[in-house]
Amino acid sequence: RQRFILLIDTLYDHYVRLVVSAAAPPAQLYTAKRGNEVFEFERTASRLIEMQSHEWLEDWVERQKATLTEAQKARA
């Protein structure tokens, strides 16, 4: 569980596009029972949902364009 949360946090923080399938929606992937686990997984589920949004994909595309532009300038 902790590794999954860390993976999603890292991908989210670095605007990495994630393609994955699961047998349940994000909020139902794990049922936390105590303390910080509840908050941590709620945040993870929220991030997974956000990463599925049209806005997230648009932001990702814009970041990719900016990265390519910077790389092209560096080559010139």
Q: How many CB atoms within 10 Å of residue 11?
A: 15
Place 68 in a pLDDT band, splitting at 50, 70 and 90: confident
Count of structural domains within the chain = 1
The Cα–Cα gap between 32 and 21 comes to: 21
Question: Rounded CA gap, 53 and 59, in Å?
Answer: 10
Domain enclosing residue 59, as ranges: 2-75
Q: What's the mean per-residue pLDDT of the chain?
A: 90
pLDDT, tens digit (0-9, with 9 covering 90-100), for 28-59: 888 877 788 888 989 999 999 999 999 999 99
The pLDDT > 70 percentage for the chain reads 100
Instruction: Tell me: pLDDT of 69 over 80.
Output: yes
